[in-house]
Amino acid sequence: MLDALGLMDGETVAIIGPQTSATAHVVSQIANEIHIPMLSFGATDPTLSSLQYPFFVRTTQNDLFQMAAIAEIIDYYGWRDVTAIYVDDDHGRNGIAALGDKLAERRCRISHKAPISPSLSRENIGNELKTANSEESRIFVLLAYADWGLEVFSVAQDKGMTGSGYVWLVTDWLASTFDTDTSIFSEAIGGVQGAITLRMHTPDSQQKTKFVSGWSKLTRDKMVNGTELNTYGLYAYDTVWLLAYGIDAFFKQGGNISFSQDPKVTEQHRGKLQVDEVRIFNGGDLLLHSILQVNTTGVAGPIKFDSDRNLIHPAYEVMNVIGKGFKRIGYWSNYSGLSVVPPETLYTKPPNRSSLSQELESVIWPGQTKQKPRGWVFPENGRQLRIAVPNHVIYHELVSVKGADSFSGYCIDVFTAAMKSLPYDVPYKLHAFGDGINKPKISELLQLIEDGVYDAAVGDLAITNNRTRIVDFTQPYVESGLVVVAPVQKLNSNSLAFLRPFTPMMWLVTGIFFLVVGVVVWILEHRVNDDFRGPPKRQIATIIWFSFSTLFFSHKQNTVSSLGRFVLLIWLFVVLILNSSYTASLTSILTVEQLSSPIKGIESLVTSNDRIGFQRGSFAENYLAEEYNIARSRLVALNSDEDYAKALKDGPQKGGVAAVIDERAYIELFLSTRCDFSIVGQEFSKSGWGFAFPRDSPLAVDMSAAILKLSEGGELQRIHDKWLQRSACSSEGAKESINRLHLKSFWGLFLMCGVACLLALLLYLIKILWKFSNYSEDTEPSSRGTSSLGLQTFISFVSEKEADITSRSKKRRMERASNKVRGGDESPNCSFGNSNEV
């Protein structure tokens, strides 16, 4: 420090150093006064910013990035709470503050801070570690200096804090100590086994290899021990060259070394610093600018500064202490996070910070185990967890509170079974929440968990979006969405029950198609099939009989024409489908109890103005008002299942409700003894029940795993059957309202049949016109007559049997042929007679 004060009245143009952040804070203030750039390869304190200290240039990595790396490692392994042990000075406090900020970005936190002064005795260090060990977290972050940090590890080993279940994350001082002097490190190797530490990453290069080789040869020739190179030594070497490049650029830009005196500054520091005058470097700004513009590559990597005056591409190696050395398990870089490949390889690719891309190799943790530590425990002297249990008014099968220490029910059994399956003991005590008269408000209970009054809540707690913003829920142990329950009436069988399968429109369209198909087949078969000929009354009867007899495939008339067979084939397929559907629906109607309700589901309630009931304190009230825009004036709060039944029986006309909306689990219990009501429509929301814990509670994660284990082993189903076994009355299959067959389900079949009929008629019309044209040519011109007579002839042609027309046409052609023959024989005779006369 005294040497630094001497700079104020000397002719210094730059400073390299100091090596500690605490000293750098003081010297940086002096450098600011006299405009001298200060280059430090050892001051990593993140608060040494260019805004506060404009002439401070950090030529090593900023601790802000080291704390970001530690925070990402903690998040990578899924831990949430850590204990910070640090040296109680500006460097330690500022570093831990930066760590807290980085942890908060990942929803992690420092649950306990243990500042320890380097001057404390071994006994005092032990007391601080004992206090830290009494906390739940077993993740320790150690920020220290070399000698003092190894002393902390030695005391922690004596207290059994370096064994199985513990995690030690150490800043880069541990790797630097090992790199510098392995003999010192080997003495304390036992206490740091399994720890994870960081080392500033310096890319491999020929320049680095040559320098390290030269340094090793120099120290070996001088026989100097404990002076091996660490990463700080590499940055120190680069710092000298950085200053050299900066001074060279300074002179090339016309800079010159000159000093001036500032009487105001001299007077300000004369008394307290004991200096006669303060000399200010006139070219300080230009030299600083020249240094910051350097862009080259040193033994530690690229030498280039970003806009915040930090070296570009900050990166660390993640090291695991194993045996007598380190194992590199990966890298961290500000570019792509955690990876197992060197950062310089990733710089050529687009940045990827997704959770799936984060990767580290396997770790040997303290206690020589490969299993990742849980990271927290319940201290032996810790208090019992206060578990709140909603004191229900109804549905005691779910939760029943019979006294201060007597709890039972489905939810309680699930919670108890999950607790027993945890790999550790959890001390807890259940506390009733509510007076047992009115249903407790779950929102108030969850708020008390957030406020720290309770440590968890157990019961029928529906998991909703709003509630997850307050607490963390476990894996759902019950799937339960909102359903509509309404009064239903039994549809008794009567003499017209056979008409129920089809709707009136379906019956009408089916009957019309029976007649249409009969008429089409008659048209196609009338001229060629004797079964479709005869007197008009007989033909009408044939059409009706043929069409409706196809329903039973018992029609006795055979089809002769190809078009008729084509239409009949399509129609028989349609009849087969209709017949099968009708039989299935009628069987269901006559064998299964059918229930009818004017309420068809949530949609019919939304469009009506009827009052709707809900369980008091349930989230259903806000859900209906916010999601379906149902006026709150229509919503009626009900306290008990008896209130449900009375309100539903009274109906809206007598001050009751048209329907009640509640979660399926509740409704199934309600319907287990009441067969006058039924679930109508479909479940219109998806949710579940879980246990509530404070945000980021590690116990919530372990309880979720325990619930999944119970589910996979069948224990969860056995508990469900014990408490919530449904009776036949609540069976959903027996309470479905009647589903009649509608026309929309068969319009495709009818369309296909209609198209087939039209196509057949069109082809038949073309064919008959062509035959009529040929028939007209065979007819005498005198008999064709006018257009009216031609139409009559066409109608007569169509109605006449085709075989008769064909026979008559053939006879006429034969007569014309014979007449031509006779006419030919008479002509020669006439000529001969005339010649004789001549």
**Angstrom distance (rounded) from CA 230 to CA 239:** 15
In this model, does residue 498 exceed pLDDT 80? no
Residue 414's pLDDT is 96
Instruction: Answer whether residue 164 shows pLDDT above 70.
Output: yes
**Tokens linked to 390:** 């909603």
Residues pairing with 523 in the sheet: none
Pairing, β 167-170 against β 482-487: unpaired
* pLDDT of 336: 92
Provide the pLDDT for residue 777. 61
Identify whether 535 is preceded by a cis peptide bond (ω within 30 of 0). Answer: no
* Residue corresponding to tokens 């004789």: 836
* Cα distance between residue 499 and residue 504, in whole Å: 9
Give the whole-angstrom CA distance, residue 555 versus residue 568: 11
Q: How far, in Å, CA of 621 to CA of 636, rounded?
A: 9
pTM: 0.66
Tell me phi and psi for residue 112, to 5 degrees: -150, 140
Average pLDDT over residues 546-557: 68
**pLDDT tens for residues 755-794?**
877 887 788 778 777 776 766 665 555 444 455 555 666 6
Q: Region 140-155: what's the mean pLDDT?
A: 90
- Angle among Cα 87, 88, 94 to the nearest 5 degrees reads 85
Per-residue pLDDT at 45: 93
Distance CA 751, CA 516 (A): 13
pLDDT of residue 838: 30
**Span 97-140, pLDDT tens digits:** 999 999 999 989 999 999 998 888 899 999 999 999 988 899 99
- Gyration radius (Cα) of the chain, Å: 48
Whole-number percent of the chain with pLDDT over 70: 81
Average pLDDT, the chain: 83
**pLDDT of 803:** 63
d(CA 153, CA 85): 11
The pLDDT score that the predictor gives to residue 190 is 72
Question: Which residues neighbour 701 within 8 Å (Cβ) at sequence distance 6 or greater?
Answer: 78
Lowest mean pLDDT among 176-180, 522-526, 764-768, 783-787: 783-787
CB 168 within 8 A of CB 161: no
Residue 752: the pLDDT is 80
Res 645: pLDDT: 92
Q: How far is CA 779 from CA 325, 669, 797, 803, 809, in A?
A: 119, 88, 12, 17, 8
Alpha helix segments (H runs only) across 121-164? 122-133, 146-158
Higher pLDDT, 220 or 334: 334
* pLDDT for position 54: 94
Given a cut of 50, whether residue 734 has pLDDT beyond it is no
Contact between residue 303 and residue 242 where contact means Cβ atoms under 8 Å apart: yes
What CA–CA distance (Å, rounded) separates 595 from 462?
A: 30
Asked if residue 714 lies in contact with residue 659, where contact means CB atoms within 8 angstroms, the answer is: no
Is residue 73 over pLDDT 90? yes
C-alpha 281/C-alpha 813 separation (Å) is: 134
Single-letter amino acid, residue 664: R
- Residue 405: exposed, middle, or buried by beta-carbon count in 10 A (0-12, 13-18, 19+)? exposed
Q: Please, are residues 398 and 411 in contact by the beta-carbon 8 Å criterion?
A: yes
Q: Which amino acid is at 377?
A: V
Query: Could you tell me which of 323, 322, 342 has the C-alpha nearest to residue 332?
Result: 342
pLDDT tens digits, 424-474: 888 899 999 988 777 888 899 999 999 999 999 999 999 998 899 999 999
Q: Report pLDDT for 759.
A: 85
